Amino acid sequence: MELDNPIWHSLLGPLNRFGESQGDTRWFPSTIAPFIAVPTVDTLPALDAAAARGWHDPAYFFGVIPQTLPTGWHFSSKSNVLQLLPPHDAPSDPQSAHDDGIRELGPGDRPAMLALTRVAFAVFFRERTAELGHYFGIFSEGHLMAMAGERMALPGWQEISGVCTHPRFTGKGSARRLMRALLARHRQRGVSTFLHVSEENHQARRLYDSMGYVLRASMPMCKVERATTPVIPTNRPEDSRA
């Protein structure tokens, strides 16, 4: 299923215009997202060719992890990410898409978005990540206190991502409101919703559990980067340590 390899299928499909490729390796520019993908585990990724074209490590394979890396590269960490879906019987609330306290974020909001994600969603949100979809925010006294938006997109599917709240404003239900607004918009567009959360992010998991999101799959994510010392070129992700 396409959801088993969401980076690859996003870059092959709806987000093709954002990506770059070399043979059977596809990636986002590092200013957009730190992800690189291959179609199958037995594909040798073209990491040197990608780096020569401006792609920067470290980056992450997600879902489908290559069994072998080129000489000079290694997996420096491995973690598990949970892929969640909203409940089938979740009530449809079109009014959530028009919450008066939520507004769509635009180019002028990028500095505030980056500042918020540095506090609450580091590493994966980059200078141009917001180009991948629509992002929405809640403000308090002119300051962006919470946001959520869209990242991966597959045919018929849209990811909710970048859900974050500034630590000074947690406990006000902002993330819940933003997610409901996005889910309502997805239903109006006729696309299904999915999201990802680190297995170790217990606070976010409690929120998603309380909203009825259900586990579809637990998926591996491996960080790849140039080795600082010589490595065996066939190192496998299960040999690395998180």
pLDDT value of residue 94: 60
Residue 228 has pLDDT above 90, yes or no: no
Give the pLDDT band (50/70/90) at residue 93.
low
* Mean pLDDT, residues 218-231 taken together: 86
CA distance 16 to 28: 9
Instruction: Quote the tokens at residue 72.
Output: 């000079």
In the structure, what pLDDT confidence band is assigned to residue 240 with cuts at 50, 70 and 90? very low
Q: What would the mean pLDDT of 176-200 be, rounded to a whole number?
A: 95
Residue 90 has pLDDT above 70, yes or no: no
Cα dihedral 186, 192, 198, 201 sign: positive
The alpha carbon of residue 60 and the mean position of all alpha carbons in its chain are separated, in whole angstroms, by: 11
Q: Is the pLDDT of residue 212 over 80?
A: yes
Instruction: Give percent of the chain with pLDDT exceeding 90.
Output: 82
Domain 87-212 in CATH 3.40.630.30? The answer is: yes
What are the tokens at 24? 């059977």
Cβ atoms < 10 Å from Cβ of 119: 12
Name residue 92's amino acid. Answer: S
Rounded to an integer, what distance in angstroms lies between the CA atom of residue 147 and that of residue 137? Answer: 4
Instruction: Kindly list the distances between the CA atom of residue 239 and the CA atoms of 20, 68, 137, in Å, as whole numbers in the listed order.
Output: 29, 12, 41
pTM of the complete model: 0.89
User: Alpha-carbon distance 159 to 191, whole Å?
Assistant: 10
d(CA 202, CA 114): 23
Lowest mean pLDDT among 8-22, 158-172, 218-232: 218-232
d(CA 57, CA 50): 10
Task: Tell me the one-letter amino acid at 19.
Answer: G
Signed CA dihedral, 194, 31, 122, 129: sign only: negative
| pLDDT tens-place string over residues 49-60 | 999 999 999 999
Alpha carbons 104 and 61: distance in angstroms, whole number: 30
Classify strands 59-62 and 157-165 as parallel, antiparallel or unpaired: unpaired
The token duo for 79 is: 């973690």
Q: Is the model's pLDDT at 91 over the cut of 80?
A: no
Amino acid identity for residue 47 in this structure: L
Task: Identify the residue with better confidence: 219 or 123.
Answer: 219
Average confidence score pLDDT of the chain: 91
Distance CA 130, CA 82 (A): 22
Residues of the chain with CATH 3.40.630.30: 87-212
Owner of token pair 């959360």: 197
Measure the CA–CA gap between 129 and 105, rounded to whole angstroms. Answer: 12
Q: DSSP 3-state assignment of 159?
A: strand
pLDDT of 191 strictly over 50: yes
